[in-house]
Amino acid sequence: MRRRLGPAALVIAGGLALASCGGSGSGSASSGSGAGSGETELSVSSAYMPQPVSDEMAAGFFTITNKGGAADELTSVTSDIAGQITVHETAGQAMQEVKSLKVPAHGELVLSSGGNHLMFERLKRKPKEGQTVSVELRFAHSGPVKIEMPVKSATYTPKTGH
Amino acid sequence: MRTKTFAAAALLAAASLTLTACGSGGDSDKPVTVVSEQAGSDKAATVLDQPFEKPDLVLTDTHGKKYDLREETKGKPTLIYFGYTHCPDVCPSTMSNIAVAAKQLPKAEQDKLRVVLVTTDPDRDTPAELGKWLKGIDPRFVGLTGDFATIQAGARTLGIAFDPPRKDKNGKIVSEHGTQVIAFSPKTDGGYVLFDEEAGVDDYTKDLPKILKGEKP
């Protein structure tokens, strides 16, 4: 997965400083983690969008890994391709919108077919296999993360099982 | 704003070991989802000892015409799925998996196969909506809509249950889809193979030639 690098390098150093537990106060403002609750450390992998049937609706999947000691929550998602993106979970055979999905500390949040997923609506165009869709993920604590989501075939399934 | 490279993640992973000592791991978080491993391709299809009778459904097809399922698919290898078109996940991939596999069959065989999507959301899935959606997958597929209670009762005879669409607190409609595709034999018209949600293109590609002959995959 490719990510846009913003002011990344500097912030990394900040993160390491923070890891030394003691002098939190000075931490980088950008971390967004609540004081005293450790740090969130998010990375996104295995992102993809199956080529949708129409320009009305599409799904998106990825795995967010949190190597930090603090939990976070995926709260909202935006993309220039869709008028609306909502976060859904699958409960039984129904897919319903949820306000947020938890990213556990030292754990992962998996969005995969048949389970949690993003629902893209009011698409500006129909994404086609081979294209990429820019998506920005926002969290309760961490700063936003931009990802480039490749559009795969309608029948694509990731090999890793996620 | 914080964005990271993988290298950074690796470094920080080490750092986070220190952090854990700082307590506050907090609540016993467990992953929100448990993702089952991809089933081996031999597990996606289950052959039933006791086949299902084809449901006696008379519904409306994508051209707005009456479609008697038993009559129209008699003696034809038939796959039936219950889903809906305002469905971002599962429904489109299920139908697309079948479509891709079906295209690999010899032309004459393709013409025999009937793939039927029965909507679980008939209010929104009008014949026109269903037709438009299926055209994006395979225009030969049959889409059926009609009275919800009739559809639900028909599905129940196949052991497939779903609730009527409901509105969530934001007023958005939440529909349900079936979890299985049932294959009916051209020889007996009995529903004798179940494909679960894990079934992918390869599973259908492997099994469809057998189903076209009414043989066990």
We report the CATH number of the domain holding residue B107 as: 3.40.30.10
Give ipTM to 2 decimals.
Answer: 0.74
Whether residue B7 is contained in a domain is answered as no
Q: Domain A8-152: what homologous superfamily? A: PCu(A)C copper chaperone (2.60.40.1890)
Contacts of B33 in chain A (CB under 8 A): 109-112, 115-116
Across the interface, do A109 and B32 touch by the CB < 8 Å criterion? yes
Chain A: give the shortest CA distance to residue B2, in Å: 5
pLDDT at A20: 32
Average pLDDT over residues B99-105: 97
Average pLDDT over residues B49-58: 96
Can you tell me the distance from the alpha carbon of B4 to that of B18, in angstroms, rounded to the nearest whole number? 19
pLDDT at A11: 37
Can you tell me the distance from the alpha carbon of B184 to that of B74, in angstroms, rounded to the nearest whole number? 10
Whether residue B158 is contained in a domain is answered as yes
Nearest CA in chain B to A6: B3
Can you tell me the distance from the alpha carbon of A145 to that of B152, in angstroms, rounded to the nearest whole number? 43
Q: Is residue B151 within 8 Å of residue B57, measured between CB atoms? A: yes
pLDDT at A6 over 80: no
The structure's pTM equals 0.77
Q: Which of A16, A38, A56 sits opposite B24 (nearest CB)?
A: A38
Tell me which long-range contacts A132-136 makes (C-beta under 8 A, separation of at least 24). Answer: A133/A49, A133/A60, A133/A79, A133/A81, A134/A79, A134/A80, A134/A81, A135/A47, A135/A60, A135/A77, A135/A78, A135/A79, A135/A85, A136/A77, A136/A78, A136/A79
What's the mean per-residue pLDDT of chain B?
Answer: 85
Across the interface, do B3 and A105 touch by the CB < 8 Å criterion? no
Average pLDDT over residues A38-54: 94
Host domain of residue B92: 45-53+61-212
pLDDT at A160: 55
pLDDT at B10 over 50: no
Whether residue B19 is contained in a domain is answered as no
Contacts of A53 in chain B (CB under 8 A): 85, 92, 96, 133, 136-137
Residue A92 binned pLDDT confidence (cut-offs 50, 70, 90) = confident
Average pLDDT over residues A86-90: 93
Whether residue B12 is contained in a domain is answered as no
Average pLDDT over residues B61-88: 97
Residue A158 binned pLDDT confidence (cut-offs 50, 70, 90) = confident
Chain B: give the shortest CA distance to residue A62, in Å: 12
Q: Which of B12, B96, B137 sits opposite A15 (nearest CB)?
A: B12
Higher-confidence position of B23 and B164: B164
Number of domains in chain B: 1
Whether residue B121 is contained in a domain is answered as yes
Can you tell me the distance from the alpha carbon of B106 to that of B125, in angstroms, rounded to the nearest whole number? 31
Look-up: residue for tokens 């971002």? B88
* Token pair listed for A115: 């389970």
Contacts of B3 in chain A (CB under 8 A): 3-8, 11, 143, 145-146
Mutate to test the interface with A, among B17, B32, B121, B162 (most CBs of A within 10 A): B32
Across the interface, do B88 and A65 touch by the CB < 8 Å criterion? no
pLDDT at A18 over 60: no
Residue A37 binned pLDDT confidence (cut-offs 50, 70, 90) = low
Across the interface, do B12 and A41 touch by the CB < 8 Å criterion? yes
Residue A23 binned pLDDT confidence (cut-offs 50, 70, 90) = very low
Whether residue B205 is contained in a domain is answered as yes
Contacts of B86 in chain A (CB under 8 A): 56-57
Chain A: give the shortest CA distance to residue B86, in Å: 7
Contacts of A32 in chain B (CB under 8 A): 2
Across the interface, do A19 and B174 touch by the CB < 8 Å criterion? no
String of DSSP letters for B114-144? EEEEEES-TTT--HHHHHHHHHTT-TTSEEE
Chain A: give the shortest CA distance to residue B12, in Å: 7
Whether residue B116 is contained in a domain is answered as yes
Beta partners for residue A59, in sequence order: A119
Whether residue B84 is contained in a domain is answered as yes
For B135-191, the pLDDT digits (tens) are 999 999 999 999 999 999 999 999 999 999 999 888 889 999 998 999 999 999 999
Across the interface, do B12 and A16 touch by the CB < 8 Å criterion? yes
